[in-house]
Amino acid sequence: MANILNVHKSTISREIHRNYGPQGYRPKQAHNFTHERKFDKVKQNISSQTWKIITALIEQESSPE
């Protein structure tokens, strides 16, 4: 599978391990698990003003330092 998808074998292993349920690995179930994990993460509170500054600096190709 990894060769066909052109990814490392650990990527496949991690995907299966992370999304394995009571009835094995099922793609729809894996999608739901991924969706739940995405919304369970703690969101950072970065103000819109800070994002504007960051975006402007990135557009100017400024160094992250």
pLDDT tens track for 8-60: 999 999 989 888 888 889 999 999 888 888 776 766 677 888 888 888 888 88
pLDDT at 6 over 70: yes
Give me the number of domains the chain comprises. 1
Report yes or no on 12 lying in a domain: yes
Domain range holding 51?
Answer: 2-59
Segment (H or E) for 20: strand 20-21
| Distance (Å) of CA 23 to CA 11, 20, 26, 40 | 21, 8, 8, 23
Report yes or no on 26 lying in a domain: yes
